[in-house]
């Protein structure tokens, strides 16, 4: 079955540590996204990529980094510069990214907690 | 992308229809209306989308007002599994591609 996978489901970060969240899709989609969700809130965009080897900052990119070396993979690193990383992180993909009609497909999410 | 307004919460009884409203008075002619829902501790999932005409799929129906300034998501027979937060989102062409989520409507379904 095609879809998006995220791992791990839960991740614990120590102070000063960088952690990487995995996102893989086998939908052959060009566009991929990372969102952050805080309790009781909607999703906010961290980074997005519309093609391999290219990505752009979203609304809350500070303290995060990404790479897009392969079409199917878009890992997110939460760096030590992100002072409030505790949140639910969601990865999504869509066919191309620019079409107003496009549907986004979301992964199951990774919940990051700070020790 | 234009802004949407939804009620914070709604309640429904199981097996009854549910009408979830969304106001988008500043919608442009090229904005598509999308609905997603998010079950507890899961990623959002697509429900339905439309431009001008009413739309039906296996999950729901979307009724769009003639002036397009409001729309209604219709769940024909609510089940306990439909308890979720429902997001109404407008998408225009050529944007950076992300969805702009508000707080949505939290739907509770009573047995």
Structure confidence by residue, pLDDT tens digits, A32-57: 999 999 988 889 999 999 999 999 99
Closest CA–CA distance from residue B34 to any residue of chain A (Å): 8
Is 80 exceeded by the pLDDT of residue B95? no
CB-CB neighbours of B55 under 10 Å: 17
Work out the mean pLDDT of chain B and round it to a whole number.
92
Kindly compute the dihedral angle of the four CA atoms of residues A77, A80, A82, A85, in this order, to the nearest 10 degrees.
Answer: 70
Pairing between β-strand A43-51 and β-strand A31-37 as defined by DSSP bridges? antiparallel
Partners of A109 on chain B (C-beta within 8 Å) are: 41-43
- Among all residues of chain A, which has the CA nearest to that of B51? A101
Beta carbons of B32 and A56 less than 8 Å apart: no
Give the pLDDT mean for B23-52: 94
Partners of B96 on chain A (C-beta within 8 Å) are: 45, 48, 56, 58, 97
Nearest by CB: B91 against A58, A100, A108: A100
B104 touches chain A (CB under 8 A): yes
Of the two residues A47 and A16, the one the predictor is more confident about is A47
Nearest by CB: B103 against A4, A42, A58: A42
B91 touches chain A (CB under 8 A): yes
The rounded distance, in Å, linking the Cα atoms of A105 and A110 is 15
Q: Exposure string (b/e) for A81-105, b if CB count within 10 Å is 16 or more? A: ebeebebbbbbbbbbebbbbebbbb
Structure confidence by residue, pLDDT tens digits, B39-93: 999 999 999 999 999 999 999 999 999 999 999 999 999 999 999 999 999 988 7
Is 90 exceeded by the pLDDT of residue B106? yes
- Among all residues of chain B, which has the CA nearest to that of A46? B98
pLDDT for A9:
94
Q: What is the number of CB-based contacts under 8 A between chain A and chain B?
A: 71
Structure confidence by residue, pLDDT tens digits, A95-111: 987 777 889 999 999 99
Is 60 exceeded by the pLDDT of residue B1? no
B95 touches chain A (CB under 8 A): yes
pLDDT for B101:
86
B94 touches chain A (CB under 8 A): yes
């Amino acid at each position: 079955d095609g879809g998006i996978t995220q791992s791990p489901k839960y991740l614990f970060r120590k102070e000063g540590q960088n952690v990487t969240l995995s996102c893989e899709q086998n939908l052959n989609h060009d566009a991929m996204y990372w969102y952050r969700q805080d309790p009781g809130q909607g999703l906010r965009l961290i980074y997005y990529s519309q093609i391999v080897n290219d990505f752009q900052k979203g609304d809350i990119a500070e303290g995060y980094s990404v790479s897009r070396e392969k079409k199917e993979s878009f890992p997110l690193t939460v760096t030590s510069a992100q002072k409030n990383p505790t949140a639910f992180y969601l990865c999504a993909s869509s066919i191309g990214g620019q079409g107003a009609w496009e549907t986004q497909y979301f992964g199951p999410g990774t919940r990051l907690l700070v020790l | 992308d234009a802004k949407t307004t939804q009620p914070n919460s709604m309640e429904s009884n199981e097996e009854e229809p549910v009408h979830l409203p969304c106001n988008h008075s500043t919608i442009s002619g090229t904005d598509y209306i999308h609905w997603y829902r998010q079950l507890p501790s899961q990623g959002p999932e697509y429900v339905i989308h439309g431009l001008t005409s009413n739309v039906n799929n296996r999950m729901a129906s979307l009724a769009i007002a003639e002036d397009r300034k409001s729309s209604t998501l219709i769940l024909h027979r609510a089940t306990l599994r439909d308890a979720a937060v429902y997001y109404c989102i407008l998408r225009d062409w050529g944007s950076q591609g992300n969805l702009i989520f508000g707080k949505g409507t939290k739907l509770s379904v009573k047995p």
